[in-house]
Structure 1
């Protein structure tokens, strides 16, 4: 049986996880919409550049949604402890999603040569790249980036 303290921590973690999931869904829809407009509708950029544009467009609102809403941080952001690590995490996601979209786009002809098929492959691979990274980002933000309690160090 869980103690009151453990139950409270578990409930807090579950609540944070759902706020993270909701914020992620909002920013994913926003990024996906940017990709759709830039690549599929307006045809302003190739698949790789459109993925970069979409990821950058979603990164800033994602930071603020996660920091202030999901993790409930009220203090000013720390450049060294929060902003720089978040940027590194976002760049990792950017590199992975860009590579994944570019790889998928270059192999889309396997499924057919129509523009619709290419659009579906690009849109799907972009979304899938973020689903793949989603749990890792939560763990990183929860354990290191926005943690509430200080890290305990050994006194040995």
Structure 2
């Protein structure tokens, strides 16, 4: 089966998830670019420092939106299976973004070019990040049998209680 056929089937089967992933990415871009431009234009910080701070702040809500809204995962985050791998993929985007922002910042003093370099670099990692999230982090059920939702205890009368183990 060709890659194009597989991609079309995935898009058809996961339309809502893909739209939510795009929405989450839009939130991250708007938040990150706002922080980057405030730090660069108003505070006069370097493109690299502004880009790093924007990444660190914007990536926190992006992780939580991806986990809960896009992939319907609830309960405590699993550091080894979800949090650390998510940040590792995100750090690849940061590394590429920092490299391009640093190069652009060295040759121009234009905030729009700095923003374009940042968005372009993160955009190249965007599809890879979706695939990693979908296949390894949030998509399949947990391998060790842990539920993705909080455990509910049984009350004395046989009903489920709101207590979380």
Please say whether Structure 1 and Structure 2 have the same fold, judged by a TM-score greater than 0.5: yes
> Which secondary structure state, in structure 1, belongs to the residue aligned with residue 17 of structure 2?
helix
Q: Which consecutive segments of 4 or more residues in structure 1 shift more than 3 A? A: 8-12
> Which secondary structure state, in structure 2, belongs to the residue aligned with residue 147 of structure 1?
coil
- Structure number with greater CO (CA < 8 Å, separation at least 6) is 1
Q: Radius of gyration: which is bigger?
A: 2
Q: Which structure's residues are more often strand, by fraction?
A: 2
Question: What is the count of residue pairs matched by the alignment?
Answer: 135
Cα drift, residue 107 of structure 1: 2.8
2:72 aligned partner: 72
Q: Does 1:146 align with 2:138?
A: yes
Q: CA RMSD in A?
A: 1.9
TM-score scaled by length of structure 2: 0.75
Quick check: 63-72 or 96-105, which moved more? 96-105
- Structure 2 residues not aligned, in runs of 5+: 1-8, 144-165
1:123 aligned partner: 115
2:127 aligned partner: 135
Q: Which structure's residues are more often helix, by fraction?
A: 1
> Which secondary structure state, in structure 2, belongs to the residue aligned with residue 101 of structure 1?
helix
Structure-2 separation of matches of 1:87 and 1:127:
18
Change (3 A) 1:10 1:51: closer
Q: Map of 1:29-108 to 2, 5 A cutoff?
A: 29-43=30-44, 45-108=45-108
2:14 aligned partner: 13
